[in-house]
Structure 1
Amino acid sequence: MSSALPPEIQIMVTRNLQQQDLSRTVLLNKEWYSTCNPQLYHTVRLSTPLQRQRFLSLFMSGSISRHATHVKFLLTRHLEILPQLMRLLNSNSPTTTVTAELSLVGLEILPHRTLRILTSEEDDILLSFLKKNPQLLHLAIWRVSENAGLYLATIARSLPNLCTLSIFDVLGIRPPFVFRESAVRFLETCSADLERLVLAWETLSYADVAIDQYDYNDNGDDGDGEVQDSPATKSHPALRFLAARVNSDTVLSSFIEGSPGLQAVIHPEFQRRRVNTLFQHSSPLHLALQQITGVRYMELSVPAAISDDGTIASLISTINNSQDGVKQQWRTISIEGTINGERGGPGEIVKAIVENCRQGLVHLHIPQGWQLESQDVHSILCNVMDLRVFNVVHLPRISASDVISSPWGCRWLTKLAIQIFNIPRPDILIDRKGCVRSSSERAAEGTVEASRAIQRKVYQQLGALTCLEFLDLGLDIENGSREELVDDIDGTIYDPQFQLNCLELSLASGLDLLGDLQNLRSLRTVGMEHRIGIPELHWMMAHFPRLELFIGLDPEVCYLPLFLRPTREYEPEPGVRHWLSAQDSWAMLQ
């Protein structure tokens, strides 16, 4: 049977097929086989024990060897498979029976629940694998190594063509120590083709320690042959995005000066900075950014003592009062105190943010987020175009009707913390107090189909934020959002903040519309009457491979002291607790 579609259309079709559908399509005829087979083996993802088992079966049967030339991306939690893949790297050897040579473009070491720090054996395996794959363009290591200097040296020397690099940025783990000289040398000699760079380390000088560390100037020979130093290249014209969890900005400043195309920098120094007045930060890092962009970046931290909306709005508006003609933009705004905006519409502060921060604002910190009205939150997300971190302590509430009213403009957002409410949930049978809801009460909320139609529109809005790494939809238990329970007249203790009119987070309600959030690292659903069951967990494992932290999966409020627990226990979906106990490699689950 001959295909009626031209090859170009066939390729477009195969790129939108799931793995299971691809495996069936290759059996149609020779034309579909030649089109689909490269796509079938293009990305090897070993994020679950089942995927690892299937891969080993295919490897033993010779399928991987025969189709190795099609494998371009490898995502794995299991480093023990790398030595087997190294056998496919030298097909010209007379002692090998490999029929196709492996030439990876991308390698990603996924986070691991229990093995978050690489062992010395894993270091040896991974470093050897990197040296044998100089053609790599994309590398991400979501685990920490105590031999960080050796990794930096190996990457700079052995991977001269890297376009994206993420290394050592692991949630809840202290970054590794790196000598200042090694850090500077790495930034000077790493690939000039880098477009995206994510780093995490703590810089040390030689005076800080009295122990032997890896010397960057060592030739790095481990028996596989001498590795020559890469020529210094202080210019990185392709770099667009830099996220650095590094404790010294002076190490980065000269690197930034050689990156004229840099569009975004996320650095801890731009966060959690508290001062008593408006100020212009003149660190080497800010000055370097000003030099390459021509923009003076400013920071504003409003102390809790200042709570008048008009005063705070005036401070935000001063960004346009440059005395020397240099263009100024807010980069960080932190408002510690109370916001007293008028109910039913955006307050003066939000209006000032929207009018003065459409461009440039990267970090917005409003600890008292619960004071924001639904329209305030929606206005910020629609208009602050460069926003990447929307950080709050007490999560603001936004109505589903506002969420779906217009597209959000903050497409670069990496952190979002909101409670989405006003979603009718006729499927909920028990209220907060443990009482059965009447049929008339549920009928007033409409049908389940109508509810899920609304939810699908909400998922579409969230799913468009493809850069999201941190998504909080539930209560923030770490900062005291759930301090008080209510003792009803009849003696029933219940939690008034537990969300009933929230997203189901079920596949039936449209959870799969979040499939593009492949960068998601942390998900919080605390205090939500969600419907996350076994099918949803398997879907998340497949589509959120970088997820490191998942809090709120079990809705029982077990973190409260026993005498404060409500009589109503929020049970998870059937089988979830047993499933949780069986996991040993996926995200940290709570």
Structure 2
Amino acid sequence: MPNRKGITMRKHESKQGNRSHRQPSRTDRIQHSSKRADREEYDPTGGIDETPPSFSDLPIEVEALIGQGALRTNGHLIQSLRLECGDGEFPKLQLPPTLPQLTSIEFIGVSGTDSAIADVLRRSTAGWRSIIFRANNPHTRPRFSNESFKELLKHASTLEVLRVEGAWGLVSKEIQELLCRLPKLKEFSLLGACSHEVPPDPWLDATDIVASEWKCTDLEVFGCEIKGLRRPPKPVNERVSGPTKTKAEQDSIDLQRGVCAQLGKLTKLKELILRAPAPTFENHHTHDFPRNTRDCLALGFETGLDLLVDLKDLRKVGLEDVDVDIGNFAVQAWMAHNWPHATIRYPGNPEAGPHINDYGPDSDSELEDDDDNTNYEHLYFEEYGYDELDYDELEYDAYDGVYGGYHWGDGYPDYDPDYGGF
């Protein structure tokens, strides 16, 4: 008997349709609607009737095991397709030449070639709204590259969701072009199932980001690494660093502020994931393959954090394994005040939560930490109207008032596959 793969066919009840990134229950049962309560109307082998009278006679949601031939037979009816298959089966999918109603697709465990993926993408004539590729182990990441990229651009006017776990074939300029040419984009993530056994995730170069304006200003989810920030090494002795910046230091600061200015325009953003934790498929961190990097946004006041002040709707911020300046109290308090609903994950065990550094220096220089604390005093003064602040009182009041009693060591929810691999 040939292998049968699980798919989901959906009939949309509204123009908005169902968000295909919501994962349906993973079961081999046939789920019935009130229109068709008799299981015996289905092929006992799990196949869908090959010649239904009309699409309206199908249940609103059908989840079944079907043969590959059913895709060809029913392809003209499918609006949303969720398919899990291996490398061997993916190139053999018996798809019709066109899929006139298909606008949303989700592949799981597919690491097909770039040309095979592009061949699937070009079959939609209605215009893609949602394209999702998920990995189910470290090695099933799609070879999403130049051909697939060209097909995506043909759907620039309709595409709203693009999630490709580990599209390591894309280069920075191509990623930047997507952000500059997809005005309806709401969800964008190229972060994959991180593992030291596979190539790294694609990333955006900071110089490309500041070169042109993004058009996707309605973006709600952004998941992509940003590199090329040119941050100099930390001073060996932070206490001897002075206020004068070298040209390299100032260039890095200017570049980081330019990137933050671009991100700061995404005022509808709910998720800002700049790096997913790794490894996700192993049960422990692999010390032989360190991932911590300094080639990232520092996210201090001097380097552009203040430019992200309008991201009030943030719910998730992922900064795993990156060297960021958010360990000192002033920056944490700023984030709690300006991103009141956000859960922030940064270096440390993601199961244990972030750790407050007891008001000690954590940034590249002690002077910057002093500046951070001074900036927060101004913020606190403007918010609460105190004429004079006792710093010990400030620390206590800010924690109780701005943090609202939340303890940073309380931990996080369970693994969330929609949170950049968390």
Normalising by structure 1, report the TM-score.
0.41
Query: Of 495, 501, 508, which residue of structure 1 is paired with 2:295?
Result: 501
Question: Which digits, 9 at most, give the CA deviation of each residue in 1:179-216, with x for residues without a partner?
Answer: xxxxxxxxxxxxxxxxxxxxxxxxxxxxxxxxxxxxxx
Question: Which digits, 9 at most, give the CA deviation of each residue in 1:556-575, with x for residues without a partner?
Answer: 35769xxxxxxxxx995844
Q: Which amino acid aligns with 1:409?
A: K
Report the counterpart of residue 227 of structure 2 in structure 1.
421
Question: Which digits, 9 at most, give the CA deviation of each residue in 1:33-88, with x for residues without a partner?
Answer: xxxxxxxxxxxxxxxxxxxxxxxxxxxxxxxxxxxxxxxxxxxxxxxxxxxxxxxx
Question: Which digits, 9 at most, give the CA deviation of each residue in 1:341-373, with x for residues without a partner?
Answer: 6xxxx611112112x220222221212244533
Equivalence map 1:435-584=2 (5 Å): 446-477=247-278, 479-480=280-281, 485=286, 487=288, 496-532=290-326, 533-547=328-342, 549-552=343-346, 555-557=347-349, 574-575=359-360, 583-584=403-404
Long gaps (5+) in structure 2 = 1-9, 27-65, 81-99, 135-139, 194-200, 241-245, 363-394, 412-422
In structure 1, how many angstroms separate the alpha carbons of the residues matched to 2:282 and 2:180? 26
How far the C-alpha of 1:460 sits from its partner, in A, is: 0.8
Q: Which amino acid aligns with 1:334?
A: I
Q: Which amino acid aligns with 1:543?
A: N
Report the counterpart of residue 105 of structure 2 in structure 1.
300
Question: Which digits, 9 at most, give the CA deviation of each residue in 1:461-495, with x for residues without a partner?
Answer: 111111110011133348349966454xxxxxxx5
Q: Going by fraction, where is helix more abundant, 1 or 2?
A: 1
Query: Of 362, 379, 382, which residue of structure 1 is paired with 2:177?
Result: 379
In structure 2, how many angstroms separate the alpha carbons of the residues matched to 1:464 and 1:520? 13
SS in 2 for 1:508: coil
Report the counterpart of residue 351 of structure 1 in structure 2.
150
Equivalence map 1:39-438=2 (5 Å): 253=13, 256=14, 265=16, 267-272=18-23, 281-282=78-79, 296=101, 298-302=103-107, 304-305=109-110, 307-320=112-125, 328-336=126-134, 337-340=140-143, 347-354=146-153, 356-391=154-189, 392-394=191-193, 395-426=201-232, 428-429=234-235
How far the C-alpha of 1:519 sits from its partner, in A, is: 1.2
Q: Which amino acid aligns with 1:499?
A: T
Long gaps (5+) in structure 1 = 1-248, 257-261, 284-294, 321-327, 431-435, 440-444, 488-494, 561-569
Counterparts in 2 of 1:421 and 1:305: CA distance versus 1, 3 Å? closer
Q: Which amino acid aligns with 2:147?
A: E
Report the counterpart of residue 162 of structure 1 in structure 2.
none
Larger gyration radius, structure 1 or structure 2? 1
In structure 2, how many angstroms separate the alpha carbons of the residues matched to 1:369 and 1:572? 36
Question: Which digits, 9 at most, give the CA deviation of each residue in 1:274-313, with x for residues without a partner?
Answer: 9986955458xxxxxxxxxxx9551223454561211211
Contact 1:486–1:496, Cα closer than 8 Å, also in 2: yes
Contact 1:385–1:409, Cα closer than 8 Å, also in 2: yes
In structure 1, how many angstroms separate the alpha carbons of the residues matched to 2:407 and 2:149? 36
Contact 1:422–1:501, Cα closer than 8 Å, also in 2: yes
In structure 1, how many angstroms separate the alpha carbons of the residues matched to 2:174 and 2:207? 13
SS in 2 for 1:382: helix
Counterparts in 2 of 1:404 and 1:571: CA distance versus 1, 3 Å? same
Counterparts in 2 of 1:424 and 1:446: CA distance versus 1, 3 Å? farther
Higher RCO, Cα 8 Å, sep 6+? 2
In structure 2, how many angstroms separate the alpha carbons of the residues matched to 1:300 and 1:509? 39
Question: Which digits, 9 at most, give the CA deviation of each residue in 1:110-138, with x for residues without a partner?
Answer: xxxxxxxxxxxxxxxxxxxxxxxxxxxxx
CA RMSD of aligned residues (A): 4.1
Aligned length: 281
Q: Percent identity?
A: 22
SS in 2 for 1:496: coil
SS in 2 for 1:372: coil
Counterparts in 2 of 1:482 and 1:411: CA distance versus 1, 3 Å? farther
In structure 1, how many angstroms separate the alpha carbons of the residues matched to 2:17 and 2:314? 17
SS in 2 for 1:502: coil
Counterparts in 2 of 1:588 and 1:353: CA distance versus 1, 3 Å? farther
Counterparts in 2 of 1:485 and 1:477: CA distance versus 1, 3 Å? closer
Question: Which digits, 9 at most, give the CA deviation of each residue in 1:209-265, with x for residues without a partner?
Answer: xxxxxxxxxxxxxxxxxxxxxxxxxxxxxxxxxxxxxxxx99x93xx4xxxxx7xx4
In structure 2, how many angstroms separate the alpha carbons of the residues matched to 1:587 and 1:454? 34
